[in-house]
Amino acid sequence: DAKTTQPPSMDCAEGRAANLPCNHSTISGNEYVYWYRQIHSQGPQYIIHGLKNNETNEMASLIITEDRKSSTLILPHATLRDTAVYYCIAAGANSKLTFGKGITLSVRP
Amino acid sequence: GAVVSQHPSWVICKSGTSVKIECRSLDFQATTMFWYRQFPKQSLMLMATSNEGSKATYEQGVEKDKFLINHASLTLSTLTVTSAHPEDSSFYICSARVGLGTYEQYFGPGTRLTVT
């Protein structure tokens, strides 16, 4: 699976959009970009995934660059409950997930 | 939908004893389940992959005789930590994939194991 690189941390104000970047410059054509998050002392939660096209669901939007070398997870209106570690993972369908260090998002009041 | 439970949520055991952790998919059948371990301030580390009815596949460096995995049904997988030692103290998390052709994994809430 391709390696992903994320900044270690970022913060944003409550109610504002949180844009979480991820680099995956070695991603192969059949690998998806997955986003999970882990709130302290809980199991990870699936957020969204995509291959080439931008995706949106009730939790977030995923913007993937045309060359697929990077992506951005957007939480449109961050709340305090969105404070968590967010993991960006590149993996093929049906592949096991390899978690990196992720990015710690802190939402401030 | 897609809820995964774990039991117990936390357990304390004495060194040398064994402890079993259960992982259940509550509202779906999971052909594949995964077991992860997470030490404080570290990321999740995949320990093994189990498919219903077959032997688990362990990641490099994970002792299969120490961490026994059984996936006897499409809704239940168990992890038994045998002859536990203090260094086995960790947060154990399972996840389940709904089936081939689906992409999301759903994670359990985790089990905190403390070996004294």
Side-chain-side CA neighbours of B106 within 13 Å: the count stands at 20
- Judged by CB atoms closer than 8 Å, whether chains meet at B104 and A46 is answered as yes
pLDDT at B46 over 90: yes
pLDDT in tens, A7-49: 999 999 999 999 999 999 999 998 999 999 999 889 999 999 9
**E-assigned strands of B8-110?**
10-13, 19-25, 32-38, 45-51, 57-58, 67-73, 76-81, 90-97, 105-107
Query: What pLDDT score does B101 carry?
Result: 59
Yes or no, beta carbons of A94 and B101 under 8 Å apart:
yes
Task: Indicate yes or no: CB of B110 within 8 angstroms of CB of A42.
Answer: yes
pLDDT of residue A96: 85
In which residue are the tokens 């002392």 written? A41
List chain B residues with CB under 8 Å of A94: 97, 100-101, 103
Structure tokens at B21: 């952790």
